[in-house]
Chains A and B, each alone.
Chain A
């Protein structure tokens, strides 16, 4: 009976197994690509044999990955409507994590862009922004809470039509043994915010489709990404779009790299980071 109404023949274990196996090989708009080297959306100029992560994240979806020091991560806003809310942790000691205040204060710059270090609260660089053709990013406003998403869109639940970023971070974090206490303020990419002279916030929105930002992991990272509308996006609807993620084996910032000694504060941050990595045998 169920077979005729659902299109599945699942009345015995053998039939159910055949039915399940017949589903393999299907393609969705949002899915991971394995092996990563087989991605249909390989970033230009990247040796696909070096890829370690290839995925398209749904609008209102999330993803997460543990990445080696030296990984290069590319986030692409496919449609111009993605907003990648990102949290980073030292995978070896996850209480060391993104600190947005230090990320803005120590480089004396509130607006993230190429060359900007994403700092932990422990005086080290978790990742460096090494490429960016969007320029619309934000370290001030964090992501949406359930309360904010409920007020604006109605239903903030992960299984509903308008998940809040925080609800998705709770799930992504839990998959690495992390709890809500492990969720500090996050940074977001592809939707801009500027501070006016009186302190008021101005939402500058998207730079358009097919924009990308690239990060280099300076430590082994747990990376959590929630792809939800920016919390001060003034549009009343839940506007989100596909986010494409690739990562490949590369090298952490070191002597001779342009960002290594571009500024005294970040230079000492890289020194602290390489000191830590060296002592740990990384």
Chain B
């Protein structure tokens, strides 16, 4: 080993995210392809941080985000696809729906303001901030079986997002029937005039972010995409940072609390 450069495990504000693996290894550029730049960035919206976690490359992740809370996803290493499914926390039979999101919004791409809808047409979440031009929701997830179609049977041993989704879904009592077409944060899938579509070089970068507000209590499943056969991860899977911020207090709520504080009831 050559002399090691100390790895920063805090962001610019001094916050240290939690991580299921050794954060110093997960955030070391030496763990990735040469030239990898890692940027932890920070939350896109104000409010108390109630969850702050780094998802290692190739790993699944899930959390419940309460109504009004905002989840910021940081593309720490740049052009790292975060495959994502949303479920109503109260009834996982209600789940993210690509076609309902597309039909209601009238556009195939996801941008700031896009309402992420359920299979019942309800608003699960709304994109409130987005630092790249557009996010994908038509490219679906990779998986061991689909990789054999796309690249050949020699890829069968590789891990995929479908496997991450199945593993994480199982932790919440769900199975294959609960996995549907998904969102892909930081993935770039243009549709050309003749219908040709495909995953091309990303338009994100280290530290770029997207944030969405939960419009009901939602269970968020994410696969930090392990794909190494196309540019969805720049052929170099890297970590994601997940930051949940509490809803900022509205003026009436603040007034009510202040009133309660100064005029305690007997």
Q: Is B177 an interface residue (CB 8 A)?
A: yes
By beta carbon, the residue of chain A nearest B143 is A121
Do the beta carbons of B181 and A185 come within 8 Å of each other? yes
Partner-A contacts on B (CB < 8 A): 93, 97-100, 102-104, 106-109, 119-122, 134, 138-141, 143-150, 152-153, 162, 175-182, 189, 191, 193-199
Give the tally of cross-chain contacts (CB within 8 A). Answer: 144
Min CB gap B135→A, angstroms = 11
Do the beta carbons of B120 and A142 come within 8 Å of each other? no
Q: Is A20 an interface residue (CB 8 A)?
A: no
* CA A61 to CA B140, docked complex, whole Å: 30
Residues from chain A with a CB closer than 8 A to the CB of B102 are 140-142, 201
Residues from chain B with a CB closer than 8 A to the CB of A101 are 98, 138-141, 181-182
Do the beta carbons of B179 and A111 come within 8 Å of each other? no
Nearest 8 A-B pairs (CB), nearest first?
A101-B140, A142-B99, A123-B145, A147-B121, A111-B195, A199-B109, A145-B121, A101-B181
The 30 listed contacts between A and B (C-beta, < 8 Å) are A95-B177, A105-B197, A105-B198, A106-B146, A108-B196, A108-B197, A108-B198, A121-B145, A140-B99, A140-B102, A142-B97, A147-B120, A148-B103, A148-B121, A166-B120, A179-B93, A180-B93, A180-B119, A197-B193, A199-B107, A200-B106, A200-B107, A201-B103, A231-B103, A232-B103, A265-B149, A268-B148, A268-B152, A272-B145, A272-B149
Residues from chain A with a CB closer than 8 A to the CB of B180 are 184-185
- With known contacts A142-B98, A181-B177, A195-B191, A105–B119 Cβ distance under 8 A: no
Residues from chain A with a CB closer than 8 A to the CB of B199 are 105
Min CB gap B147→A, angstroms = 8
* CA A139 to CA B195, docked complex, whole Å: 11
Residues from chain A with a CB closer than 8 A to the CB of B150 are 105-106, 265
Q: Is A182 an interface residue (CB 8 A)?
A: yes
Residues from chain B with a CB closer than 8 A to the CB of A141 are 99, 102-103
Contacts A141-B99, A200-B107 known; 13 new A-B pairs at CB < 8 A? A99-B140, A100-B181, A110-B191, A110-B195, A110-B197, A111-B194, A123-B149, A142-B102, A148-B100, A148-B103, A199-B107, A200-B108, A268-B149
Question: Main SS of the interface on chain B?
Answer: loop
Do the beta carbons of A166 and B119 come within 8 Å of each other? yes
Residues from chain B with a CB closer than 8 A to the CB of A145 are 100, 119-121
Q: Is A6 an interface residue (CB 8 A)?
A: no
Q: Is A146 an interface residue (CB 8 A)?
A: yes
Q: Is A227 an interface residue (CB 8 A)?
A: no
Give the most central of B103, B194, B196: most A CB within 10 Å: B103
* CA A263 to CA B193, docked complex, whole Å: 21
Residues from chain B with a CB closer than 8 A to the CB of A185 are 97-99, 180-181
By beta carbon, the residue of chain B nearest A197 is B193
Do the beta carbons of B122 and A147 come within 8 Å of each other? yes
Give the most central of A102, A182, A268: most B CB within 10 Å: A102
Interface string of A168-185 (1 = CB under 8 A from B): 000000000001111111
